[in-house]
Structure 1
Amino acid sequence: MSDKPANTIQVLLICGGGGSEHEVSLRTADFIQRELARAPDIHLTRVTMNGDGQLLDGDGQVRELRSDKLLYSASGSAQVVDYVIPSIHGYPGETGDLQSQLEILGLPYYGCSPEASKICFNKITTKLWLSALGIDNTPYQFLCADTPEEIAQAQDALAEWGTVFVKASNQGSSVGCYKAATAEALENALKEAFRLSPYVLVEKCLKVRELEVAAYTYEGELVITPPGEVCAPEDTFYSYEEKYAEGSRALTHVVAEGLSDAQLGWIREASKRAFIGLQLKDLSRIDFFLSEDGEIYLNEVNTFPGMTSISMFPKMLQHQGHDFCTYLGGLIRESVQSASQ
């Protein structure tokens, strides 16, 4: 027998995805599951999506979410689903594909809409939208094909800028990002990036401080935290491994030091403009670069940031004085109540 009250909200937590960020997704789901265990009116069912898109329960049995908003087991039994947490980094969670399915089913869910997710996941469309919103971002070249003409643009960028980052446009969390300072390194990076994506970004490498802001909705109000800072080792950049490995050498500071009031004000304004202009929902982590000459560039918008033991988003939320269970539980209750009206 369950000790949950009769009006329990049935929440489905979907994690995994079967892609390059599968394991990190599981760790984020672990964090969310622990936090929501403190909410007496929320019952959470966790399933893991494999590379074939199947939802597997803890026993490895296939579960199926159908149009009647019930989660079916192989035996034919079913349970109600009131709300979904798509805890998947990369495809199909951050790309908007899973959210599109939930929209079709009419199920409320945690996080951004399909369109906002898709825009922000693609590094090139993000830059185009940021420019349209009047938010500065780093100089770049956009390559749309692995052809000699396009490669020549990348070579020209390397000659002009000295060192560049090569980024597959539709990969998350530093997957498909390479640093190149020589023609040979550039050639190898482009091959790898085009293997992962049909579009590639070649970005000017700047010596910067990496700042991160948590932007989220708490009790109906948009909260934008002061920026924290990621200090990667000098001999590398903040790669996927450095971002999520337990043995990461990167240092994180919940509050960045030494920023002027003007810099803090602009970061807050740009974060607010991005959150509202891109029509984000519930949460995001917005990352900035602060160059040596004081220029501030918005680097990327992460619509479903990591929530592992070393992740910045939950740390900054907590530093703001907000309890994660209260935060997410409030969003769940509000969404379920709105959906029932």
Structure 2
Amino acid sequence: MAKPTVAIVFGGRSTEHGVSCVTAGGVLGAIDRDRWDVVAIGITREGRWTLASTEPGDWRIVDGAMPDVPRSHAVVLPPFEAGSREWRVVEDGTMRSLGEIDVVFPLLHGPWGEDGTVQGALELVDARYVGSGVLASAAGMDKQFMKTIFADAGLPVTPDVVVTPVHGVAAQRERIEALGLPVFVKPARAGSSMGISKVSSWDALEAAVADAQKHDPKVLIEAAVVGREIETAVLATPGGLLTSPPGEIITGGDHDFYDFDAKYLDEAAVTLLCPTSLEPAVAATVADYAKRAFRAIGAESLARVDVFVTDAGGVVVNEINTMPGFTTTSMYPRMAAAAGISYRELIETLLTVALERPVGLR
């Protein structure tokens, strides 16, 4: 029997382009080529869909530099109509068939990919894909609406103030200062800890907001929670939702928190404890909140849910990531491994479930 074909889609227009490329390299290196035919589709920073290399080594960090999808490759076109699985390539003015693609693995982070836009494009042609659908992806990307959904589901969240170009810092100064110091300033629709600042003096607030707005005009200013940062990997399987043991990230060196450099450029300064030590009742609450958060936004396939655990044992939901970092050293696969699921098995599960997912409204 012919092997099913999976398209690994990565890169994209967001500031997380390089992170997405590294994630793709990890998956390309681990996917079972005896089980799957693999096509790599890289989206350039300008939004051009191209036929890309399937060699994992082409998508690694070199001397601290993130990889980029080059512009010079053949352009890839999705199916022309719903129900067709045939993708095409246009090169030197000539169109040819890329063959039928059975399932898409969109390894995109940030806007124009993780936020429901690419998911919508795939839904238009009834393409099966790994990950959450349009609404869950959009809600999971926008921290303002994510927290609104969580609060409505009865999950505790951190207090925050939203700053936009229309409703800026000056107009909301009183509400912001009521949060108390320190606060975290975050782009509302970005990930990989890009543009996040910890503000311990109100004099630094304006600069922190300006830095966050380089990534997103909408910014969240959140009250800091004194406690431990705990993460849980959630995986949807035919038998139901699985959660990993709770993981805890310990940062050292010059990192005041788990920022971009700590995640991708200074792994020696980061320690993941999984399972980490929690009271059994607290660990049960963390797992319960992770599943409730997953269901609250209607997530599918996979997600990483991050919470704070206070000294008193309280649990506060921080966020959900519907397409977490997926390299071999990323926290999601490492937590899955602690649950007994290897990196290759994880990829196999995600693709197998996606291949059986119904198309159209569900």
Is 1:286 matched with 2:305? yes
Give the corresponding residue for 1:71: 87
* CA RMSD in angstroms, aligned pairs only: 2.2
Provide the secondary structure at the position in 2 that maps to 1:76: strand
- Structure 2 Cα separation of the partners of residues 145 and 338 of structure 1: 40
Provide the secondary structure at the position in 1 that maps to 2:344: helix
TM-score with structure 1 length normalisation? 0.90
Task: Judge conservation of contact 1:96–1:118 (CA < 8 Å) in 2.
Answer: yes
**Residues 112-156 of structure 1: CA distance to partner in whole angstroms, max 9, x if unpaired?**
0111011011111111011001111112222344556x4353455
Cα gap change, 1:211/1:316 in structure 2, threshold over 3 Å: closer, same or farther?
same
Give the corresponding residue for 1:183: 202
Give the corresponding residue for 2:7: 12
* Paired letter, 1:253: L
- Structure 2 Cα separation of the partners of residues 124 and 249 of structure 1: 30
Superposition pairs of residues 294-305 of structure 1, within 5 angstroms? 294-305=313-324
Cα gap change, 1:201/1:335 in structure 2, threshold over 3 Å: closer, same or farther?
closer
**Residues 91-129 of structure 1: CA distance to partner in whole angstroms, max 9, x if unpaired?**
222111000000001000000011101101111111101
Give the corresponding residue for 2:62: none
Give the corresponding residue for 1:198: 217
Provide the secondary structure at the position in 1 that maps to 2:318: strand
Superposition pairs of residues 1-341 of structure 1, within 5 angstroms? 6-36=1-31, 38-58=32-52, 60-67=73-80, 68-73=84-89, 74=91, 75-78=94-97, 79-147=99-167, 150-154=169-173, 156-158=175-177, 161-233=180-252, 236-247=256-267, 249-257=269-277, 259-337=278-356
Gaps of 5+ in 1: 1-5
Cα gap change, 1:247/1:215 in structure 2, threshold over 3 Å: closer, same or farther?
closer
- Structure 2 Cα separation of the partners of residues 160 and 277 of structure 1: 26
**58-67 or 276-285: bigger deviation:** 58-67
- Structure 2 Cα separation of the partners of residues 199 and 84 of structure 1: 30
Gaps of 5+ in 2: 54-72
Superposition deviation, residue 9 in structure 1? 0.4
Task: Judge conservation of contact 1:154–1:202 (CA < 8 Å) in 2.
Answer: no
Give the number of equivalent residue pairs: 333
* Paired letter, 2:3: T
TM-score with structure 2 length normalisation? 0.85
Task: Judge conservation of contact 1:287–1:298 (CA < 8 Å) in 2.
Answer: yes
Cα gap change, 1:333/1:265 in structure 2, threshold over 3 Å: closer, same or farther?
closer
Percent of aligned positions with the same letter in both sequences? 27
Superposition deviation, residue 275 in structure 1? 1.3
Provide the secondary structure at the position in 2 that maps to 1:99: helix
* Paired letter, 1:255: P
* Paired letter, 2:335: M
**Residues 164-206 of structure 1: CA distance to partner in whole angstroms, max 9, x if unpaired?**
1111211112122111122221011122233433322111123
